[in-house]
Amino acid sequence: MSRNNWSTLIVIVLMLVLAVAVSACANTNNTNTKNDSEQKQAAENEQAQKEGDEGAGEEQQSEPPRRGCAACHVKTADNDYSLTAEAKSRAEGHPTKAPDGTTMDENTTVETCLECHAPGNNGRGKSAPLALRTIVHPAHLYSEHFVANYSGNCFTCHEVDNQGVFNLLSQKVETNEKGVPKTVPIPGMIAPSERIGTAGTPGSTGAPNTSNTAGTSGTSGG
């Protein structure tokens, strides 16, 4: 092969190598651009999700915590969460009238429930198979709806006095965003049944109460 032919061949090979190199660079740039675009989009999506979660959290926190039986146990346009409806859902033969003649309906209060379900003897209610506390404490604290959706806890239903006694909140409590009551003493607050009356009265445990303070610290109302 002549010298000119070799020169021509070398030039052709170099041109091919250069073309391949240019093509490879172009593909690399396209890949990098695509990766950069995908990463940017992912970052934007993550930021949007974060802002959405924060916004949802702010929206949830905008409603004050619910405190008091009547803050949750009411009849709405969609469902009946009243105390009467809750009782009938668990006991079809539940009485329709309280011992004092009060009709059991969507306006029934926890005071009416305690006419029968105040603590009696041997763990039973005063005139019912179970005391109210034996029912509502596990029913609430083992409820994912109560704990997760409403952030329910002891203070949802109770207020603690200066001796550590858990009083029952029978009415809806108006609070600020931290659950602190706007009015004190809280209206509708019920002392634990053991602190009310003597033997034979609602909430009696079978022995007269001689003191309103002794031996009751930490007792849960209802």
Quote the tokens at residue 192: 């634990």
Residue 17's domain comprises 1-62
Q: Are 86 and 184 in the same domain?
A: yes
Q: Are 24 and 81 in the same domain?
A: no
- Count the domains in the chain: 2
Q: Are 78 and 171 in the same domain?
A: yes
Q: Is residue 156 part of a domain?
A: yes
Which residue, 16, 44, 62, sits at the end of a domain? 62
Q: Are 53 and 123 in the same domain?
A: no
Q: What is the pLDDT of residues 170-204, one digit of tens each?
A: 999 999 999 999 999 999 999 987 665 433 333 33
Which residue, 62, 81, 100, sits at the end of a domain? 62
Q: Is residue 213 part of a domain?
A: no
Cβ count near 192 (within 10 Å): 21
Q: Are 88 and 161 in the same domain?
A: yes
Q: Are 55 and 164 in the same domain?
A: no
Contacts of 133 (CB under 8 A, 6+ apart): 119, 220, 221, 222
Going by pLDDT thresholds of 50, 70 and 90, the confidence category of residue 15 is confident
The model's pTM is 0.61
Q: Are 86 and 35 in the same domain?
A: no
Q: Is residue 201 part of a domain?
A: no
Q: Is residue 145 part of a domain?
A: yes
Quote the tokens at residue 190: 């019920």
Which residue, 19, 39, 62, sits at the end of a domain? 62
Q: Are 74 and 144 in the same domain?
A: yes
Going by pLDDT thresholds of 50, 70 and 90, the confidence category of residue 1 is low
Q: Are 90 and 191 in the same domain?
A: yes
d(CA 118, CA 80): 24
Of the candidate ranges 135-149, 151-165, 204-218, the one whose mean pLDDT is the lowest: 204-218
Q: Are 73 and 171 in the same domain?
A: yes
- 3 Cα distance to chain centroid: 89
Q: Is residue 34 part of a domain?
A: yes
Q: Are 80 and 189 in the same domain?
A: yes
Pairwise pLDDT comparison (169 vs 1), residue with the higher score: 169
Q: Is residue 24 part of a domain?
A: yes
Element (H, E) at 79: none
Q: Are 39 and 100 in the same domain?
A: no
